[in-house]
Structure 1
Amino acid sequence: MVENTLTVGSISEGFVLDHIQAGKSMDIYKYLKLDKLDCCVAIIKNAKSKKLGKKDIIKIECPIDFMDLDILGFIDHNITVNIIKDQKIVDKQALRLPKKITNVIKCKNPRCITSIEQGLDHVFVLTDPEKEIYRCKYCEEKYHGR
């Protein structure tokens, strides 16, 4: 029997996004614009997880200061952010649902001011943390995408 394991080397400085819901790593790659960075990025999909069954992991070898933790919290607030220095985890950051997100999702309401005013920021506000419901700041259109 062949064991399905993959070894990805450690990183000296950067961060590891762990406990990503299986299949969500490419969304995170896109939202964080990791393709625009000039650093090493490793994406591990469908890794075994005791907690989740399967999970995705992203290892990024560059400073964390560019990263928008609000976007990560919006995509999946269960992700663990491990900060790495000298190949060791020096800090773990838990995420939360952001109270407000800007220019991450677009309002689908054709009558919303954001449809008419092209330069206006798309701002969504967390209106129900229990149900994870976001609404457009301008027209109150509910975000349907999760």
Structure 2
Amino acid sequence: MTPDQAESIYRQGLIAAQAGRWTEAREAIAQAITARPGVPVWWATYGLVLESQGDLPGAVQAFAGALNLDGDLAMAMDGLLAAAETLTDAGRTDLAEGCYCRALALTPDTPAALAKASVLLRAQGLDPSKLLRRAAVLRPDRYA
């Protein structure tokens, strides 16, 4: 498959996702990623599709894959953090903690990840002050 063909298949998947045809979207985007695995936005979009289908573990892996390629991709970080919040709300703090750890390992200077991880620590009865101090240093206007 040529790069242009992969781009075309990705766009078909994106159109299918926008129309709510999740299975078709998932298959097309997966094909595009197989042909060109180094496109971070495709991974993040794949994560959104998987999340829409209820495959939260798969979505987390896709968001992390996107962040491995581009640690500054806000779409992927937002997806990973949203997945962690969903897991926390569902009482799956073990999996949520893994998401936050992954987010912080991939992009350690992400104030939102630090702040949200601190909420999880507090819920687990642990002291979140180190994470909150770090978030405040990075974004004093928001977390101080």
Of Structure 1 and Structure 2, which has the larger fraction of its residues in strand? Answer: 1
TM-score, scaled relative to structure 2: 0.28
Higher radius of gyration, 1 or 2 = 1
| TM-score normalised per structure 1 | 0.28
Q: Which has more helix, going by share of residues?
A: 2
Pick 1 or 2: higher relative contact order, CA cutoff 8 A, min separation 6.
1
